[in-house]
Amino acid sequence: MGDRYIIKGNTKLVGEVSIGGAKNAALAILAAAILSDETCTIENLPKVSDISVLLSAIEQTGAKVDRVDDHTVKICGKTVSTKSIDYDFIRKIRASYYLLGSLLGKYKNAEVALPGGCNIGSRPIDQHIKGFEALGATVKLEHGMIIASADRLVGTNIYLDVVTVGATINIMLASVLAEGTTIIENAAKEPHIVDVANFLNSMGAEIKGAGTDLIKINGVQKLHGTQYMIIPDQIEAGTFMVAAAATGGDIVVKNVIPKHMEAISAKLQEMGAVVTEGDDSIRVVGNQEYKPTNIKTLPYPGFPTDMQPQMTVALCFAQGTSIITESIFENRFKYVDELSRMGATIKVEGNTAIIEKSSKFTGATVSAPDLRAGAALVIAGIIADGFTVVERIDYIERGYEDFVGKLCGLGAQIQRVTTDKEEQKFRLKKTS
Ligand code: UD1
Protein backbone atom coordinates (compact mmCIF):
# COMPACT_ATOMS: atom_id res chain seq x y z
CA MET A 1 0.00 0.00 0.00
CA GLY A 2 3.01 2.27 0.41
CA ASP A 3 3.40 5.41 2.45
CA ARG A 4 0.11 6.73 3.74
CA TYR A 5 -1.43 8.95 6.37
CA ILE A 6 -3.57 7.43 9.07
CA ILE A 7 -5.96 9.79 10.80
CA LYS A 8 -8.19 9.42 13.84
CA GLY A 9 -10.93 11.92 13.21
CA ASN A 10 -13.54 13.93 15.05
CA THR A 11 -11.07 16.67 15.89
CA LYS A 12 -11.41 20.45 15.82
CA LEU A 13 -8.16 22.07 14.73
CA VAL A 14 -7.05 24.74 17.18
CA GLY A 15 -3.86 26.78 17.46
CA GLU A 16 -1.32 28.60 15.31
CA VAL A 17 0.34 27.52 12.11
CA SER A 18 3.08 29.22 10.11
CA ILE A 19 2.93 29.26 6.31
CA GLY A 20 5.96 28.52 4.11
CA GLY A 21 7.11 30.00 0.81
CA ALA A 22 4.88 29.81 -2.25
CA LYS A 23 5.58 26.65 -4.23
CA ASN A 24 4.30 27.99 -7.52
CA ALA A 25 6.33 31.19 -7.20
CA ALA A 26 9.41 29.22 -6.19
CA LEU A 27 9.22 26.92 -9.23
CA ALA A 28 9.31 29.87 -11.62
CA ILE A 29 11.90 31.81 -9.62
CA LEU A 30 14.32 28.86 -9.52
CA ALA A 31 14.05 28.51 -13.30
CA ALA A 32 14.50 32.28 -13.67
CA ALA A 33 17.71 32.24 -11.63
CA ILE A 34 19.72 30.66 -14.46
CA LEU A 35 19.08 33.76 -16.60
CA SER A 36 22.05 35.37 -14.85
CA ASP A 37 25.70 34.32 -14.91
CA GLU A 38 25.98 35.56 -11.34
CA THR A 39 24.76 33.83 -8.18
CA CYS A 40 21.16 34.24 -7.03
CA THR A 41 20.34 33.42 -3.42
CA ILE A 42 16.71 32.38 -3.00
CA GLU A 43 15.21 32.23 0.47
CA ASN A 44 11.95 30.96 1.94
CA LEU A 45 11.78 27.99 -0.43
CA PRO A 46 9.19 25.44 0.65
CA LYS A 47 10.69 22.03 1.43
CA VAL A 48 8.47 19.99 -0.87
CA SER A 49 9.26 17.36 -3.47
CA ASP A 50 8.34 19.49 -6.51
CA ILE A 51 11.11 21.89 -5.56
CA SER A 52 13.73 19.13 -5.18
CA VAL A 53 12.81 17.72 -8.57
CA LEU A 54 13.15 21.11 -10.26
CA LEU A 55 16.49 21.73 -8.54
CA SER A 56 17.72 18.40 -9.96
CA ALA A 57 16.53 19.44 -13.43
CA ILE A 58 18.42 22.72 -13.05
CA GLU A 59 21.54 20.87 -11.93
CA GLN A 60 21.24 18.67 -15.00
CA THR A 61 21.70 21.75 -17.20
CA GLY A 62 25.13 22.24 -15.64
CA ALA A 63 24.08 25.20 -13.47
CA LYS A 64 25.58 25.28 -9.99
CA VAL A 65 23.00 24.54 -7.33
CA ASP A 66 24.06 24.95 -3.72
CA ARG A 67 21.38 23.90 -1.22
CA VAL A 68 22.41 26.12 1.68
CA ASP A 69 19.70 24.78 3.99
CA ASP A 70 16.15 23.38 3.72
CA HIS A 71 14.77 26.77 2.70
CA THR A 72 17.66 28.48 0.95
CA VAL A 73 19.44 27.76 -2.30
CA LYS A 74 22.15 29.52 -4.31
CA ILE A 75 21.98 29.08 -8.06
CA CYS A 76 24.61 30.17 -10.57
CA GLY A 77 23.72 29.89 -14.24
CA LYS A 78 27.20 30.61 -15.57
CA THR A 79 28.08 26.95 -16.06
CA VAL A 80 24.94 25.90 -17.95
CA SER A 81 26.10 23.51 -20.67
CA THR A 82 23.00 21.48 -21.60
CA LYS A 83 19.94 23.23 -22.93
CA SER A 84 17.85 20.09 -22.97
CA ILE A 85 15.51 18.90 -20.21
CA ASP A 86 14.57 15.19 -20.15
CA TYR A 87 11.06 13.81 -20.08
CA ASP A 88 11.92 12.27 -16.74
CA PHE A 89 11.77 15.69 -15.07
CA ILE A 90 8.73 16.92 -16.98
CA ARG A 91 6.90 13.71 -16.11
CA LYS A 92 7.47 14.35 -12.43
CA ILE A 93 6.82 18.05 -12.54
CA ARG A 94 5.23 20.02 -15.35
CA ALA A 95 6.70 23.29 -14.20
CA SER A 96 10.11 22.15 -15.48
CA TYR A 97 8.81 23.78 -18.66
CA TYR A 98 9.76 27.14 -17.17
CA LEU A 99 13.30 26.16 -18.12
CA LEU A 100 12.17 26.41 -21.74
CA GLY A 101 11.51 30.13 -21.29
CA SER A 102 14.74 30.74 -19.33
CA LEU A 103 17.03 28.75 -21.62
CA LEU A 104 15.47 30.19 -24.76
CA GLY A 105 15.68 33.71 -23.32
CA LYS A 106 19.31 33.39 -22.35
CA TYR A 107 20.85 31.05 -24.95
CA LYS A 108 18.31 31.37 -27.78
CA ASN A 109 17.82 27.65 -27.85
CA ALA A 110 16.19 25.09 -25.61
CA GLU A 111 14.71 21.61 -25.70
CA VAL A 112 12.22 20.47 -23.14
CA ALA A 113 10.07 17.34 -23.27
CA LEU A 114 6.42 18.10 -24.00
CA PRO A 115 4.41 17.67 -20.82
CA GLY A 116 1.56 15.19 -21.09
CA GLY A 117 -1.93 15.59 -19.66
CA CYS A 118 -2.37 15.18 -15.96
CA ASN A 119 -4.91 14.17 -13.39
CA ILE A 120 -6.75 17.44 -13.44
CA GLY A 121 -7.30 17.42 -17.17
CA SER A 122 -5.58 18.04 -20.46
CA ARG A 123 -3.25 20.99 -20.14
CA PRO A 124 -2.23 22.48 -23.48
CA ILE A 125 0.79 24.78 -23.81
CA ASP A 126 -0.23 26.45 -27.05
CA GLN A 127 -0.11 29.91 -25.49
CA HIS A 128 3.48 29.42 -24.33
CA ILE A 129 4.45 28.43 -27.86
CA LYS A 130 2.49 31.28 -29.40
CA GLY A 131 4.44 33.67 -27.17
CA PHE A 132 7.85 32.23 -28.04
CA GLU A 133 7.04 32.34 -31.75
CA ALA A 134 5.85 35.93 -31.50
CA LEU A 135 9.25 36.81 -30.01
CA GLY A 136 10.90 35.33 -33.10
CA ALA A 137 11.63 31.76 -32.05
CA THR A 138 11.02 28.73 -34.21
CA VAL A 139 9.28 26.06 -32.19
CA LYS A 140 9.22 22.45 -33.40
CA LEU A 141 7.93 19.30 -31.85
CA GLU A 142 10.16 16.29 -32.50
CA HIS A 143 10.38 12.95 -30.69
CA GLY A 144 8.27 14.26 -27.84
CA MET A 145 10.54 17.27 -27.34
CA ILE A 146 9.65 20.93 -27.84
CA ILE A 147 12.62 22.46 -29.58
CA ALA A 148 12.76 26.24 -29.54
CA SER A 149 15.48 28.29 -31.18
CA ALA A 150 16.02 31.79 -32.44
CA ASP A 151 18.72 33.94 -34.00
CA ARG A 152 17.32 36.94 -32.15
CA LEU A 153 14.42 37.44 -29.81
CA VAL A 154 12.64 40.72 -30.41
CA GLY A 155 9.97 42.24 -28.18
CA THR A 156 6.41 42.43 -29.49
CA ASN A 157 2.75 42.53 -28.38
CA ILE A 158 1.39 39.16 -27.30
CA TYR A 159 -2.31 38.72 -26.55
CA LEU A 160 -3.07 35.56 -24.58
CA ASP A 161 -6.26 33.82 -25.75
CA VAL A 162 -6.79 32.37 -22.28
CA VAL A 163 -5.63 33.74 -18.95
CA THR A 164 -2.76 31.42 -18.12
CA VAL A 165 -0.28 31.57 -15.28
CA GLY A 166 2.22 29.28 -16.98
CA ALA A 167 2.32 31.09 -20.32
CA THR A 168 2.45 34.53 -18.69
CA ILE A 169 5.52 33.48 -16.69
CA ASN A 170 7.20 31.58 -19.52
CA ILE A 171 6.84 34.57 -21.86
CA MET A 172 8.27 36.89 -19.19
CA LEU A 173 11.25 34.54 -18.84
CA ALA A 174 11.85 34.40 -22.59
CA SER A 175 11.53 38.15 -23.10
CA VAL A 176 13.51 39.77 -20.25
CA LEU A 177 16.69 39.57 -22.31
CA ALA A 178 15.03 40.16 -25.71
CA GLU A 179 15.64 43.26 -27.80
CA GLY A 180 13.03 45.98 -27.32
CA THR A 181 9.72 45.89 -25.53
CA THR A 182 7.35 42.97 -25.04
CA ILE A 183 3.78 43.56 -23.97
CA ILE A 184 1.71 40.67 -22.63
CA GLU A 185 -2.00 41.42 -22.85
CA ASN A 186 -4.65 39.45 -20.98
CA ALA A 187 -1.89 38.33 -18.63
CA ALA A 188 -2.60 36.30 -15.50
CA LYS A 189 -2.52 38.33 -12.27
CA GLU A 190 -1.76 35.72 -9.61
CA PRO A 191 0.44 36.78 -6.67
CA HIS A 192 3.21 34.51 -7.87
CA ILE A 193 3.35 36.34 -11.21
CA VAL A 194 4.11 39.51 -9.27
CA ASP A 195 6.69 37.63 -7.22
CA VAL A 196 8.47 36.33 -10.31
CA ALA A 197 8.48 39.84 -11.83
CA ASN A 198 9.86 41.29 -8.57
CA PHE A 199 12.58 38.64 -8.54
CA LEU A 200 13.53 39.38 -12.16
CA ASN A 201 13.51 43.13 -11.46
CA SER A 202 15.82 42.54 -8.50
CA MET A 203 18.20 40.96 -11.08
CA GLY A 204 18.05 44.10 -13.19
CA ALA A 205 15.08 43.29 -15.46
CA GLU A 206 12.62 46.02 -16.39
CA ILE A 207 9.13 44.63 -15.92
CA LYS A 208 6.14 46.80 -15.19
CA GLY A 209 2.48 45.99 -14.68
CA ALA A 210 2.79 42.50 -13.16
CA GLY A 211 -0.40 41.95 -11.17
CA THR A 212 -2.47 43.68 -13.87
CA ASP A 213 -3.59 42.19 -17.17
CA LEU A 214 -0.98 44.16 -19.11
CA ILE A 215 2.67 43.42 -18.43
CA LYS A 216 5.37 45.48 -20.13
CA ILE A 217 8.88 44.09 -20.36
CA ASN A 218 11.73 46.26 -21.58
CA GLY A 219 14.50 43.89 -22.61
CA VAL A 220 17.89 44.36 -20.94
CA GLN A 221 21.31 43.09 -22.02
CA LYS A 222 22.02 41.01 -18.97
CA LEU A 223 20.82 40.18 -15.49
CA HIS A 224 22.91 40.23 -12.32
CA GLY A 225 22.82 38.14 -9.16
CA THR A 226 20.40 38.87 -6.34
CA GLN A 227 19.16 37.77 -2.96
CA TYR A 228 15.41 37.26 -2.80
CA MET A 229 12.78 36.00 -0.38
CA ILE A 230 9.76 34.18 -1.80
CA ILE A 231 6.23 35.27 -0.76
CA PRO A 232 4.07 33.06 1.49
CA ASP A 233 2.01 30.32 -0.15
CA GLN A 234 -1.55 31.45 -0.78
CA ILE A 235 -2.86 27.91 -1.20
CA GLU A 236 -1.15 26.43 1.85
CA ALA A 237 -2.59 29.32 3.89
CA GLY A 238 -6.03 28.83 2.33
CA THR A 239 -5.93 25.12 3.08
CA PHE A 240 -5.43 25.77 6.81
CA MET A 241 -8.10 28.50 6.81
CA VAL A 242 -10.61 26.12 5.29
CA ALA A 243 -9.46 23.34 7.63
CA ALA A 244 -10.27 25.63 10.59
CA ALA A 245 -13.74 26.29 9.23
CA ALA A 246 -14.46 22.72 8.15
CA THR A 247 -13.51 21.21 11.51
CA GLY A 248 -15.31 23.92 13.51
CA GLY A 249 -11.92 24.91 14.93
CA ASP A 250 -10.00 28.11 15.57
CA ILE A 251 -6.69 28.65 13.75
CA VAL A 252 -4.38 31.63 13.50
CA VAL A 253 -2.64 31.26 10.15
CA LYS A 254 0.63 33.17 10.44
CA ASN A 255 3.03 34.57 7.87
CA VAL A 256 0.45 35.27 5.16
CA ILE A 257 -0.37 38.23 2.95
CA PRO A 258 -4.06 38.75 3.84
CA LYS A 259 -4.74 40.57 0.55
CA HIS A 260 -3.92 37.37 -1.36
CA MET A 261 -6.50 35.51 0.69
CA GLU A 262 -9.49 37.76 -0.01
CA ALA A 263 -11.47 35.41 -2.26
CA ILE A 264 -11.14 32.62 0.30
CA SER A 265 -11.84 34.85 3.31
CA ALA A 266 -14.94 36.23 1.61
CA LYS A 267 -16.41 32.78 0.96
CA LEU A 268 -15.68 31.57 4.49
CA GLN A 269 -17.37 34.69 5.89
CA GLU A 270 -20.34 34.19 3.59
CA MET A 271 -20.70 30.70 5.05
CA GLY A 272 -20.65 32.09 8.57
CA ALA A 273 -17.08 31.53 9.76
CA VAL A 274 -15.44 34.44 11.58
CA VAL A 275 -12.37 35.64 9.70
CA THR A 276 -10.14 38.29 11.27
CA GLU A 277 -7.22 39.79 9.39
CA GLY A 278 -4.01 40.86 11.13
CA ASP A 279 -1.03 42.50 9.40
CA ASP A 280 0.49 39.21 8.36
CA SER A 281 -1.91 36.69 9.86
CA ILE A 282 -5.52 35.57 9.54
CA ARG A 283 -7.61 33.96 12.25
CA VAL A 284 -10.48 31.72 11.23
CA VAL A 285 -13.01 30.65 13.83
CA GLY A 286 -15.44 28.01 12.65
CA ASN A 287 -18.91 27.16 13.87
CA GLN A 288 -21.40 24.32 13.49
CA GLU A 289 -24.11 25.90 11.34
CA TYR A 290 -22.82 27.07 7.98
CA LYS A 291 -24.85 28.66 5.23
CA PRO A 292 -24.51 27.08 1.79
CA THR A 293 -22.84 29.11 -0.95
CA ASN A 294 -21.98 28.97 -4.63
CA ILE A 295 -18.41 29.19 -5.91
CA LYS A 296 -16.95 29.50 -9.37
CA THR A 297 -13.20 29.04 -9.75
CA LEU A 298 -11.59 31.85 -11.71
CA PRO A 299 -8.16 33.33 -12.37
CA TYR A 300 -6.90 35.64 -9.59
CA PRO A 301 -8.40 37.67 -7.95
CA GLY A 302 -11.22 35.14 -8.34
CA PHE A 303 -11.59 32.00 -6.25
CA PRO A 304 -8.54 29.75 -6.89
CA THR A 305 -9.08 26.37 -8.54
CA ASP A 306 -6.38 25.04 -6.17
CA MET A 307 -8.76 25.68 -3.23
CA GLN A 308 -11.80 24.06 -4.80
CA PRO A 309 -11.54 20.53 -3.29
CA GLN A 310 -10.82 21.80 0.25
CA MET A 311 -13.81 24.15 0.07
CA THR A 312 -16.04 21.31 -1.09
CA VAL A 313 -15.28 19.47 2.15
CA ALA A 314 -16.27 22.52 4.22
CA LEU A 315 -19.51 22.91 2.26
CA CYS A 316 -20.54 19.30 2.89
CA PHE A 317 -21.90 20.38 6.27
CA ALA A 318 -23.64 23.61 5.24
CA GLN A 319 -27.40 23.80 5.87
CA GLY A 320 -28.53 23.46 2.26
CA THR A 321 -27.31 22.99 -1.28
CA SER A 322 -24.06 24.53 -2.56
CA ILE A 323 -22.85 24.62 -6.13
CA ILE A 324 -19.21 24.68 -7.17
CA THR A 325 -18.35 25.41 -10.78
CA GLU A 326 -14.84 24.57 -11.95
CA SER A 327 -13.97 26.85 -14.84
CA ILE A 328 -10.19 26.38 -15.08
CA PHE A 329 -9.53 22.65 -15.34
CA GLU A 330 -11.84 20.08 -16.88
CA ASN A 331 -11.25 17.11 -14.62
CA ARG A 332 -10.95 18.40 -11.12
CA PHE A 333 -13.74 16.52 -9.35
CA LYS A 334 -12.12 13.10 -9.24
CA TYR A 335 -11.89 13.25 -5.47
CA VAL A 336 -15.69 13.42 -5.17
CA ASP A 337 -16.00 9.63 -5.42
CA GLU A 338 -13.55 9.26 -2.55
CA LEU A 339 -15.43 11.83 -0.44
CA SER A 340 -18.70 10.07 -1.18
CA ARG A 341 -17.23 6.94 0.34
CA MET A 342 -16.79 8.94 3.54
CA GLY A 343 -20.40 10.14 3.54
CA ALA A 344 -20.50 13.20 1.28
CA THR A 345 -23.57 13.73 -0.89
CA ILE A 346 -22.24 15.35 -4.05
CA LYS A 347 -23.45 15.07 -7.61
CA VAL A 348 -21.10 16.07 -10.42
CA GLU A 349 -22.57 17.27 -13.69
CA GLY A 350 -19.92 18.34 -16.18
CA ASN A 351 -17.87 21.06 -14.54
CA THR A 352 -20.33 21.55 -11.69
CA ALA A 353 -20.57 19.85 -8.31
CA ILE A 354 -23.83 20.03 -6.41
CA ILE A 355 -23.20 19.54 -2.72
CA GLU A 356 -25.98 18.55 -0.32
CA LYS A 357 -25.71 18.60 3.45
CA SER A 358 -24.13 15.49 4.97
CA SER A 359 -25.06 14.40 8.45
CA LYS A 360 -21.57 13.10 9.15
CA PHE A 361 -18.43 11.65 7.60
CA THR A 362 -17.15 8.22 8.58
CA GLY A 363 -13.55 7.18 8.16
CA ALA A 364 -12.53 5.08 5.13
CA THR A 365 -9.48 4.24 3.06
CA VAL A 366 -9.22 6.80 0.27
CA SER A 367 -6.67 7.65 -2.37
CA ALA A 368 -5.48 11.15 -3.25
CA PRO A 369 -6.06 11.77 -6.96
CA ASP A 370 -3.93 14.94 -7.02
CA LEU A 371 -2.20 17.41 -4.72
CA ARG A 372 -5.04 19.70 -3.57
CA ALA A 373 -7.65 16.95 -3.56
CA GLY A 374 -5.26 15.01 -1.33
CA ALA A 375 -5.27 17.87 1.19
CA ALA A 376 -9.07 17.94 1.04
CA LEU A 377 -9.26 14.22 1.85
CA VAL A 378 -6.99 14.75 4.85
CA ILE A 379 -9.31 17.50 6.13
CA ALA A 380 -12.25 15.12 5.59
CA GLY A 381 -10.42 12.49 7.64
CA ILE A 382 -9.90 14.95 10.49
CA ILE A 383 -13.67 15.59 10.53
CA ALA A 384 -14.77 11.96 10.10
CA ASP A 385 -15.71 9.53 12.84
CA GLY A 386 -13.15 6.76 13.26
CA PHE A 387 -10.03 6.09 11.21
CA THR A 388 -9.24 7.33 7.71
CA VAL A 389 -6.29 6.17 5.64
CA VAL A 390 -5.18 8.49 2.83
CA GLU A 391 -3.10 6.77 0.16
CA ARG A 392 -0.96 8.27 -2.64
CA ILE A 393 0.41 10.90 -0.28
CA ASP A 394 3.26 11.50 -2.71
CA TYR A 395 0.82 13.93 -4.34
CA ILE A 396 0.31 15.81 -1.08
CA GLU A 397 4.03 15.96 -0.36
CA ARG A 398 4.66 17.60 -3.72
CA GLY A 399 3.19 20.80 -2.36
CA TYR A 400 2.70 20.80 1.41
CA GLU A 401 5.74 21.07 3.65
CA ASP A 402 5.46 19.03 6.84
CA PHE A 403 1.69 18.78 6.47
CA VAL A 404 1.47 16.12 9.17
CA GLY A 405 3.66 18.07 11.62
CA LYS A 406 1.68 21.26 11.11
CA LEU A 407 -1.67 19.45 11.53
CA CYS A 408 -0.43 17.68 14.68
CA GLY A 409 0.54 21.10 16.04
CA LEU A 410 -3.12 22.06 15.66
CA GLY A 411 -4.31 18.98 17.54
CA ALA A 412 -4.95 16.58 14.65
CA GLN A 413 -4.36 12.90 15.28
CA ILE A 414 -2.49 11.99 12.13
CA GLN A 415 0.63 10.00 11.39
CA ARG A 416 2.62 9.17 8.30
CA VAL A 417 3.12 5.41 8.18
CA THR A 418 4.83 3.05 5.79
CA THR A 419 3.99 -0.44 7.02
CA ASP A 420 0.76 -2.17 8.05
CA LYS A 421 2.38 -2.78 11.44
CA GLU A 422 2.87 0.97 12.00
CA GLU A 423 -0.72 1.60 10.93
CA GLN A 424 -1.99 -1.06 13.33
CA LYS A 425 0.06 0.41 16.17
CA PHE A 426 -1.52 3.85 15.58
CA ARG A 427 -5.01 2.32 15.55
CA LEU A 428 -4.36 0.44 18.80
CA LYS A 429 -2.85 3.46 20.53
CA LYS A 430 -5.76 5.70 19.52
CA THR A 431 -8.44 3.15 20.41
CA SER A 432 -7.21 2.31 23.89
C1 UD1 B 1 -0.79 27.08 -12.44
C2 UD1 B 1 -0.51 26.44 -11.11
C3 UD1 B 1 -1.66 25.54 -10.71
C4 UD1 B 1 -2.98 26.29 -10.75
C5 UD1 B 1 -3.16 26.98 -12.09
C6 UD1 B 1 -4.39 27.89 -12.12
C7 UD1 B 1 1.89 26.32 -11.14
C8 UD1 B 1 3.10 25.44 -11.20
N9 UD1 B 1 0.72 25.69 -11.22
O10 UD1 B 1 -0.87 26.02 -13.41
O11 UD1 B 1 -1.40 25.06 -9.39
O12 UD1 B 1 -4.04 25.38 -10.57
O13 UD1 B 1 -2.01 27.81 -12.39
O14 UD1 B 1 -4.29 28.84 -11.13
O15 UD1 B 1 1.99 27.51 -10.98
N16 UD1 B 1 -4.14 26.85 -20.99
C17 UD1 B 1 -4.24 26.80 -22.36
N18 UD1 B 1 -3.11 26.97 -23.10
C19 UD1 B 1 -1.89 27.21 -22.54
C20 UD1 B 1 -1.80 27.27 -21.15
C21 UD1 B 1 -2.95 27.08 -20.39
O22 UD1 B 1 -5.32 26.58 -22.92
O23 UD1 B 1 -0.91 27.37 -23.28
C24 UD1 B 1 -5.36 26.68 -20.17
C25 UD1 B 1 -5.28 25.49 -19.21
O26 UD1 B 1 -5.68 24.31 -19.84
C27 UD1 B 1 -6.25 25.93 -18.12
C28 UD1 B 1 -6.08 27.44 -18.08
O29 UD1 B 1 -5.47 27.80 -19.31
O30 UD1 B 1 -7.58 25.64 -18.49
C31 UD1 B 1 -5.22 27.94 -16.94
O32 UD1 B 1 -3.99 27.25 -16.93
P33 UD1 B 1 -2.67 27.89 -16.34
O34 UD1 B 1 -3.01 29.16 -15.62
O35 UD1 B 1 -1.63 27.96 -17.39
O36 UD1 B 1 -2.22 26.83 -15.26
P37 UD1 B 1 -0.76 26.35 -14.95
O38 UD1 B 1 0.22 27.46 -15.13
O39 UD1 B 1 -0.52 25.06 -15.64
Query: Looking at residues 261-281, what average pLDDT do you find?
Result: 98
Q: Does residue 43 carry a pLDDT above 80?
A: yes
116 is in which domain, residue-wise? 23-229
Q: How many domains does the chain have?
A: 2
Mutate to test the pocket of ligand 1, among 123, 126, 213, 396 (most ligand atoms within 8 A of CB): 123
Region 153-165: mean pLDDT is 97
Strand pairing partners for 15? 251
Tell me if 125 CB under 6 Å of ligand 1: yes
Atom of ligand 1 nearest to the CA of 371: 11
Q: What is the distance, to the nearest Å, from the Cα of residue 180 to the centroid of all Cα atoms in its chain? A: 32
Atom of ligand 1 nearest to the CA of 188: 34
Which residue has its alpha carbon closest to ligand 1 atom 30?
A: 328
> For the segment 70-114, what is each residue's pLDDT rounded down to a tens digit?
999 999 999 999 998 888 888 888 888 999 999 999 999 999 988
Boundary-marking domain end, from 196, 229, 262: 229
Point out the domain boundary residue: 229, 251, 267: 229
pLDDT category, 52, cuts 50, 70, 90? very high
Q: Are residues 208 and 237 in the same domain?
A: no
- Residue among 164, 231, 306, 400 whose CB has most ligand 1 atoms within 8 A, to mutate: 164
Residues 212 and 299 in one domain: no
Q: Domain boundary at 198, 229, 260, which?
A: 229
Spell out a b/e string for 136-146, using b for 16 or more CB atoms within 10 Å of the CB, else e.
bbebeeeeebb
Distance CA 118, CA 359 (A): 33
Q: What is the C-alpha separation between 247 and 94, in angstroms, rounded? A: 33
pLDDT above 80 (res 1): no
Q: Kindly state whether residues 299 and 238 are assigned to the same domain.
A: yes
Angle, CA of 57, 38 and 147, to the nearest 5°? 40
288 and 361 share a domain? Answer: yes
pTM of the entire predicted model: 0.97
Distance 192 CA to ligand 1 centre (A): 13
* CATH code of 204's domain: 3.65.10.10
Residue type, 321: T
Q: Which of 428, 424, 413 is nearest to 13 (CA)?
A: 413
> Does the Cβ of 126 fall within 6 Å of ligand 1?
yes
**Which residues pair with residue 84 across a beta bridge?**
111
Q: 224 with 246, same domain?
A: no
Query: 132 vs 32, 106, 109, 178, 382, CA distance in Å?
Result: 16, 13, 11, 11, 46
Residues 221 and 237 in one domain: no
Name residue 315's amino acid. L
Does 209 lie in the same domain as 156? yes
Ligand 1 atom closest to 306 (CA): 12
Q: Does ligand 1 have an atom closer than 6 angstroms to the CB of 170?
A: no
pLDDT band for 233, please (50, 70, 90 cuts).
Answer: very high
Which residue from 23, 77, 67, 75 is spatially nearest to 45, judged by alpha carbons? 23
Tally Cβ neighbours within 10 Å of residue 354: 13
Q: Is 124 in the pocket of ligand 1 (CB under 6 A)?
A: yes
Instruction: Kindly tell me the sign of the dihedral angle through the C-alpha atoms of 303, 306, 307, 312.
Output: positive
Residues 14 and 36 in one domain: no
User: ω into residue 258 within 30 of 0, thus cis?
Assistant: no
Same domain assignment for residues 88 and 199: yes
Task: Say if residue 222 is in the same domain as residue 360.
Answer: no
Output the pLDDT for position 348.
97
Active site residues: 118
User: What residue's CA is closest to ligand 1, atom 13?
Assistant: 165
In order, the DSSP letters of 118-167 are BTTB----HHHHHHHHHTT-EEEEETTEEEEE-S--B--EEE-SS--HHH
Q: How many CA atoms lie within 13 A of 107 on its CB side?
A: 21
Whether 280 and 254 map to the same domain: the answer is: yes
- Ligand 1 pocket check for 165: Cβ under 6 Å: yes
